[in-house]
Amino acid sequence: MRPLLIGLAGLLFTACGEQQPEPLYLTKEFYEWRCSDYEFNSEIIVTTQTCETKETGLHYLIAEVHLVEGDRYKRHLTRNGSECDWQTEFILIEDVCISVDGVTLTAYVEPATWSGALFGD
């Protein structure tokens, strides 16, 4: 898993006005997930690593579980112990891990601006 570095990924953020964060759909190399079946439920854990904060442009990290039947569940990730480790859990009561089609992770970030990026405007 590669750490997510929004500030170093070439995004330039605006400093004026309240704008809605934009979704940045992350590829699988930026997060991990695992599913475990237990006697009465199944648990999916989604983790990622980034030291980005709201001050550097990261508003939310949202994980979405996709089930084979078409159902989807979303949860936001929270810091897990250290400043750079993020995690969330999904508890499935009536489904087991084999019914999980996949998991996606989306970072909601400050809209990028290219104003002055090329010519020093």
pLDDT in 10s for each residue of the chain, 121 residues:
666 655 434 343 444 556 789 999 999 999 999 999 999 999 999 999 999 988 889 999 999 999 999 999 999 999 988 889 999 999 999 899 999 999 999 999 988 655 555 555 4
What phi and psi values does residue 5 have, to the nearest 5 degrees? Answer: -120, 90
The CA distances from residue 8 to 3, 13, 43, 69, 74, in Å, are 11, 12, 33, 38, 27
Instruction: Break the chain into its structural domains and give their ranges.
Output: 20-109
Q: State the pLDDT at residue 4.
A: 62
> Which is it for strands 72-76 and 22-26: parallel, antiparallel or unpaired?
unpaired
C-alpha–C-alpha distance, residues 61 and 37, integer Å: 25
| Residue type (1 letter), 11 | L
Find where tokens 């499935």 sit.
92
Q: How many Å apart are CA 36 and CA 104, to the nearest integer?
A: 17
Query: Burial of 82 by CB count in 10 Å (0-12 exposed, 13-18 middle, 19+ buried)?
Result: exposed
- In this structure, whether the domain defined by 20-109 belongs to CATH 3.40.50 is answered with no
